[in-house]
Structure 1
Amino acid sequence: MASDEVLLEVDGAVAVVTLNAPERRNALTPAMAAELIAAFDEVDARTELGAVVVRGVGRSFCAGGDVQTLTDAGRDPAAPDAYAGMGAIYDSFYRLGQVHAPTIAAVRGSAVGAGMNLLLAADLRIVARDARLLCGFLKRGMHPGGGHFVLLSRLVGREAAAAMALFGEEVDGETAVRLGLAWETLDDDAVEDRALELAARVARDPSLARVAAANFRKETGPPHVSWEIATQFERPAQMWSMRRPAP
């Protein structure tokens, strides 16, 4: 990896990808997003790996896009550098959704904005009871991006997606399970071990795991419009929202 902000470790047939920028609550910069993509590329290239666990170091799973990155992009979101930087962040969680092996997000602490997209991109979520899951885009004066409405509503349905994405409702671990946003909620210190346990189970047969994951996504994946199309719907709206004067 290019730096230590994304760590890739292997435990048997399970890859563990760790967001390791706790000083900014694992908020994504374009450089960190590029490291994430590189990690997922490496996982795909190693056919002996049958599952992936994504986790974060520190108090947050992922606090979304880095504030400075968003501020810089807001000056002119269509400028080539800004557009490419935001695109890299989009691409990082979209790439997670395309990883060949089944994926689990082990979520402790907060997940906001692009951090929500990252956990939503996984096949399964194990979350801490005291987790804070918040869409957060409108609170920042931004339109959601990255296909957020599709990713969220395919798990929780239209009503809960509206409550979270439009009206700013925050969700904890117990509520996440009740809504179908997570499979299981546990004490903070048990989350990662449980995710690794599930990952090891499916990873026993890496080839089968990869084929099953591909077909699972094709058969259950985003309704109505594709994730890719939703991303294109949302990108110009998000750029517009970022270019406005701060409300």
Structure 2
Amino acid sequence: MGSIVLDKTDGVATLTVDSPEVKNGLTPQMGRELVAACEEIDADPQIGAAVVRGAGGTFCSGADRRTWNPGADQAADGTFQETGAVYKAFVRVGNLAVPTIAAVRGAAVGAGINLMLATDLRVVATDARLLAGFLRIGLHPGGGFFTIAGRTAGREATAAMGLFSQEVDGRRAAEIGMAWAAVPDADVEDTAHRFAAEPAKDPALAREAVRSFRTELGPPGIGWDAAVEFERATQMWSQRRRNSR
């Protein structure tokens, strides 16, 4: 039911979300695998950068609804822990000891856009579809979306996407600062790996540089960890409310 695949080549780690039958929807188990893969990357001093991608030409469609039950009691211990496993994965990617790049093809929706925004830099296909979409399906945003979107695209774009469910393509994402580059779909992953190859030449320096980068520029407002917890109670309420309609 999906997995996280880790490849390490020439100082670059590639993390692949691999569940193409559901357009790379994330499960709690995949969240735990993503955390474990990040631990492996951090423990390898030969790795100087990481690329996050999705299998089969799409990035991540959000939560895998085969394992998602919004009608369950979201405060029940088991449900709370399962949801938290996905949220912890976003934060863990964001705290990797190396510079990170998302290579975004196809769609990044819901949880998928959070995973994309967890990275330091984004390369997107010009025709990629980027959509938060939480309110559109009757849910409050989760995963610290407002914090991690706001630190890239700013308040206006975060409002448009998070409050008004506006979708942007890759070209627009680059225009508003949500991505560094928008390139043809066939060039996305090569471009991301070409960028990653630069810090990978000197992993020790790359790790020190990215630590300084995040310490000095970190997300605005409340911290990301706090944002995840701040959103959770309201999101659980919205899940229960959605199911009762």
Which category of TM-score, normalised to the shorter sequence, fits these structures? over 0.9
Q: CA deviation at 1:229?
A: 1.3
Using the alignment, how far apart are the partners of 1:222 and 1:126 within structure 2? 20
Q: CA deviation at 1:68?
A: 3.0
Aligned residue for 2:197, secondary structure, equals helix
Output the CA distance in 2 between the equivalents of 1:219 and 1:196. Answer: 25
- State the match for 1:176 in structure 2: 173
1:163 pairs with one of 160, 165, 172:
160
* 1:33 match: 31
Question: Is 1:196 equivalent to 2:193 in the alignment?
Answer: yes
Q: What corresponds to 1:46 in structure 2?
A: 44
Give the aligned partner of residue 125 of structure 2: 128
TM-score for both structures, normalised by structure 1 = 0.96
Is residue 234 of structure 1 aligned with residue 231 of structure 2? Answer: yes
Alignment correspondent of 1:58: 56
Aligned residues: 244
Deviation for aligned residue 1:110: 0.3
Deviations along 1:195-242, whole A, 9 cap, x unmatched? 000001111000010011111011111112111111111010111111
1:34-91 Cα distance to aligned partner (Å, 9 max, x none): 1111111100010110000010012420011111333x24321011111011000001
Q: Is the 8 A contact 1:142 1:242 kept in 2?
A: yes
CA distance in 2: counterparts of 1:231 and 1:4, whole angstroms: 24
| Map of 1:220 onto structure 2 | 217
**1:4 shift after superposition:** 6.7
- Separation in structure 2 between the aligned mates of residue 164 and residue 219 of structure 1, nearest angstrom: 26
Instruction: Using the aligned pairs only, state the percent identity.
Output: 52
Give the corresponding residue for 2:203: 206
| Alignment pair present for 1:141 and 2:138 | yes
Structure 2 unaligned blocks of 5 or more: none
Question: Cα RMSD over matched residues?
Answer: 1.2
C-alpha distance in structure 1 between counterparts of 2:236 and 2:215, whole Å: 30
Structure 1 position 186 matched with structure 2 position 175: no
- Give distance in 1, aligned partners of 2:12 and 2:30: 22
Q: TM-score, normalised by structure 2?
A: 0.97
Alignment of 1:89-104 (within 5 A): 89-104=86-101
Match of 1:76 among 59, 73, 77: 73
Unaligned runs of 5+ in 1: none
Q: Which amino acid aligns with 2:51?
A: V
Partner letter of residue 226 of structure 2? I
Of 58-67 and 232-241, more deviation after overlay is shown by: 58-67
- Residues of 2 paired with 1:173 and 1:140: CA distance? 23
Structure 1 residue aligned with 2:22: 24
Q: Deviations over 1:129-159 (max 9, x none)?
A: 1100000111121100111101111111111
1:169 maps to a residue whose letter is: Q
